[in-house]
Amino acid sequence: MNKILIVEDELLIANYICDVLSSEGYKVVGIARDHNEALTLFKKKTPTLVCMDISLKDERDGIALAAQMREIGPFALIYLTAYGDRDNVRRAQQTEPFGFLVKPVTDQTILATVATAMGNDPHINVYEAEQIFRICCSDCEPFVVDCASGKLVVESEEIRLTPKESQMLGFLLSHQGEIIPFSKVKTKVWRDYSVSETSLKTLLWRLRSKLPDRNLIKTIPGFGYCIDAPIEKVTKV
């Protein structure tokens, strides 16, 4: 059975993640709140996956701890981080994480990220184009994205999206709360990692120009993109 270790010094957050994972049948082998406890549990329980808080209030942060664990044995790694923690995100890449969860985390993002990391999701890297999302931003009225028909609906006005714009936006929305590496976006939209950075930036510029909130898609310099605005799936526009 896949085993998960949670390393998080805020007990409320740790217990919440534990409850979400346990409710879906995952085996959480422990919660560690500091460096020593985490290493002890890691060596004893040999987890398949570690959910690691980057900003541990300890002698070492989560990145240093993950690097030490890498020297002990193999495991999948997911970081918990606050949006805007860009320097740490860049440093964390050296420990080869599967991905990042941006706080505050939700049931949906926890389960989707863990399932993909574990390799249990049969639809890994497959975007369901029929999804419709309602997006609530602080700087504009709520609006709807219909990925199947390639359109935004803003206050009854329809704005058309190109297929690649729709695919990129839908992919990021379906991974709301996660920081998606540039390489994954390239592979998803073009199915070609070698696509130029200029093509990616041009597509993003066009997409942002059509969005009511141009800050909806956040760029994490040197790593990727993230949408952390509240969203919900709906059945119709």
For residues 199-209, average pLDDT: 91
Q: How far apart are CA 236 and CA 230, in angstroms?
A: 18
Q: Where are the alpha helices (DSSP H) in the chain?
A: 11-23, 35-45, 62-70, 86-92, 107-118, 163-173, 182-190, 197-210
Instruction: Report how far apart the first and last C-alpha atoms of the chain are (Å, whole number).
Output: 41
Given a cut of 50, whether residue 125 has pLDDT beyond it is: no
Per-residue pLDDT tens for 141-180? 888 988 777 788 888 888 988 878 888 998 899 888 999 9
Q: What is the pLDDT of residue 191?
A: 63
* Inter-residue contact 48 to 21 (CB < 8 Å): no
Q: What is the pLDDT of residue 12?
A: 94
CA nearest 49: which of 83, 18, 90, 6?
6
Per-residue pLDDT tens for 11-20? 999 999 999 9
Per-residue pLDDT tens for 205-234? 999 999 998 899 999 998 999 998 888 887
* Inter-residue contact 48 to 76 (CB < 8 Å): yes
Q: What is the pLDDT of residue 78?
A: 93
For residues 192-199, average pLDDT: 75
Q: How far apart are CA 14 and CA 60, in angstroms?
A: 18
Q: What is the pLDDT of residue 130?
A: 55
pLDDT range class, residue 71, cuts 50, 70, 90: confident
pLDDT range class, residue 87, cuts 50, 70, 90: confident
pLDDT range class, residue 6, cuts 50, 70, 90: very high
Mean model confidence pLDDT for the chain: 84
pLDDT range class, residue 83, cuts 50, 70, 90: low
> Domains of the chain (ranges plus CATH)?
3-118 (3.40.50.2300), 132-234 (1.10.10.10)
Query: Measured between alpha carbons, how far is residue 91 from residues 38, 60, 81, 111 in Å?
Result: 20, 14, 13, 25
CA nearest 80: which of 21, 156, 13?
13
